[in-house]
Amino acid sequence: MAVRPPDKDEVAALARGYGMNPSETELAVYTPLVAAFLGSYDAVEELYADIAPHPPERPYTWPEPEDNPLGAWYVTTEIAGAASGPLAGRRVAVKDNISVAGLPMMNGSRTLEGFTAVRDATVVTRLLEAGATVAGKAVCEDLCFSGGSHTSVTGPVHNPWDGTRTTGGSSSGSAALVAAGEVDLALGGDQGGSVRMPASFCGIVGHKPTHGLVPYTGAFPIELTLDHLGPMTRTVADAAAMLNVIAGRDGWDPRQPTDLAPADYVAALQGDVTGLRLGVVSQGFGWPELSEQGVDDTVRAAAERFREAGMEVGEVDLPWHRHGLHIWNVIATDGATIQMVEGEGYGHNWDGLYDPEMIAYYGQQRRTVADAWSPTVKAVALTGRWSIETLQTRHYAMARNLAFELRRAYDEALSRFDVLVMPTTPIQASPLVQPGDPLEVSIARALEMIVNTAPTDVSGHPATSVPAGLFNGLPTGMMIIGKRFDDATCLRVAQAFETLSGGFPAPPSRQPAAVT
């Protein structure tokens, strides 16, 4: 389709948007010049048509309510992978911000409603090549910007432990389906804790890899420096097996180092933890007016159990951990506004694989459905727009520079300890937001649990959430943080705790209680 060039009045309006006031003589020059430049846009569109992907026809089903009691499935399917491989016979749910060619992709939002993905994300291709079967797309929160499970336009996702409570977000459906035993494995995404927070609330394992270890190609971005994909499973062994498959360079994602060399994460689980040093981060506990004492006590008791495995356990002071949330807030707000909102998801200026079809669909939709965004997306967009217009986004630049200081602080602590430990979430799963609840309640329930997880999205360190134990009959997560690109040690320590615990508990019932 030929690009329509602007007329003289439209060029004048464009100029005024930049604070320019061209004369009639200048407009007479610029108007045909702009039209000439746009001729290259027509040429690029014609050239791209020769390489544009043609998605396969893959059958899928919109689940009926009776088949989707947790509200966790977006669509179901049965895409069989290779006949053999390390994940042969394993059923996997794919978070609905990750492309599966031929399947609808909504990203929990009206902004993508009706879109069908045209290519498989790299992680999906790798899972299928490893023998896994894609069982469907799991519900996620509106544009993935919520730590609660109440913002998806498809409705709330109910916690398998107590259907009146949140599963956590934004990988809400992935966590619920794994915990309920409906799938063996799930893919999640993590920009502020969205793999680990629902893992904590639902009593499963969630691993946020080192930034860049797993290619993000084909997943809907929020912010280039924060984007992660990772496994969500019932056991540490399953998480390691998934990571073995999805880790490594794909040549399309500039988040990935050129010298990336993944480990054998399954083999690493067999390593001895005797003599490893575990640092309990003081600042991860006792958040004022937020931390629940039972959560803190459960995680501290879990940390002490590592002594039984021959590990050394000590306290570590890490003040920058508390600064990390402020740094994340600025990066996530300005970065998401510029890239995800105004950059049509992908933004610009990076040497990676783009999704023009998704960009076009999203860009057209977002200009008409913004009123349907969740409160958290609206708050981010409003704050980010104010920063752009009045602050020149200089605080984003400050925060990105401070990210190196935050990374150094974790690195220093990890020079004295092999892993760091704290609660994944300072609270347990809170009651689901109800339709009549005030707006401020909806926003609080979406953001209150991110304080411990968000900083490592900024620093890039790997972090594994495992169930530390039950408190008030609900799971509580313990987060194990390791050195960058030493995901193997995080998982090895997590495996040691799973062994000490005799395995992680499952929900007492596969059905939600008192779903409303």
Residue type, 137: K
| Contacts of residue 359, Cβ cutoff 8 Å, sequence gap at least 6 | 344, 345, 346
Q: Are 219 and 229 in contact (CB under 8 A)?
A: yes
Inter-axis angle of helices 24-49 and 8-17, nearest 10: 90
Distance from C-alpha of 31 to C-alpha of 33, rounded to nearest angstrom: 5
Residue tagged active-site, from 95, 137, 208, 483: 95
Residue tagged active-site, from 149, 170, 171, 465: 170
DSSP structure string for 329-395: HHHHHHHHIIIIITTTTT-SS--S---HHHHHHHHHHHHHHGGGS-HHHHHHHHHHHHIIIIITTHH
Residue with tokens 């430990």: 421
282 catalytic per annotation: no
Q: How crowded is residue 59: how many other Cβ atoms within 10 Å of its Cβ?
A: 10
194 catalytic per annotation: yes
Structure tokens at 358: 């998704």
Distance from C-alpha of 438 to C-alpha of 431, rounded to nearest angstrom: 14
Q: Is the dihedral of CA 233, 239, 245, 249 positive or negative?
A: positive
Residue tagged active-site, from 149, 172, 194, 430: 194
* Positions of E strands within 252-332: 277-281, 312-316
| Contacts of residue 451, Cβ cutoff 8 Å, sequence gap at least 6 | 287, 290, 325, 426
Which contiguous run of DSSP H or E holds residue 33?
A: helix 24-49
Write the secondary structure of 303-318 as one string of H (helix), E (strand) and C (coil). HHHHHHHCCEEEEECC
Residue with tokens 């030493």: 486
Residue type, 356: P
8 catalytic per annotation: no
Tell me the C-alpha to C-alpha distance, in Å, between residue 176 and each of 43, 74, 96.
Answer: 47, 12, 14
Catalogue the active-site residues. Answer: 95, 170, 194
